[in-house]
Amino acid sequence: MTQFRTVPYSGIEVNMSALPRKGAEEARNQLPDLLDAAEKGKSTIITRHGRPVAALVPMEAYDAALRQEPLLPLAGSGRGLWGKDSTQRLRNLRGEWNR
């Protein structure tokens, strides 16, 4: 199963299953090589007992994930979405969940 994940705030989709995976011990032994790969733009998933626990990513990707896009351009974009009485509309929607 291919697992795609969008990097927050960047809109970049990453194929998580295509990233190289290294066990924690192997990553520790190969850290200089993994750092060189990160400098060249390559990410690596670090696993423990076969379960992903961390990602070694290039600083550009990390910086992009930390930057938050301003919300000001979205101001007022939902106006009219719920109708004149948004409270009643939400109550009706919640009522549908209880059916």
pLDDT tens digit sequence for 49-99: 999 999 998 998 888 777 767 767 777 777 677 777 778 888 888 877 765
Residue-range domain boundaries for the chain: 1-68
Put simply, whether the predicted model's pTM sits higher than 0.95 gets the answer no
Model confidence at 5: pLDDT above 60: no
Work out the pLDDT band at 36, boundaries 50, 70, 90.
Answer: very high
Longest dimension (CA), the chain: 62
| Mean pLDDT, rounded, for 14-34 | 87
Return the residue matching tokens 């192997």.
26
Which SS3 state, helix, strand or coil, does residue 15 take?
A: strand
Following DSSP, what letter does each residue of 74-91 receive, concatenated? GTTTTTTSS-S-HHHHHH
Question: How is domain 1-68 classified at the CATH fold level?
Answer: YefM-like fold (3.40.1620)
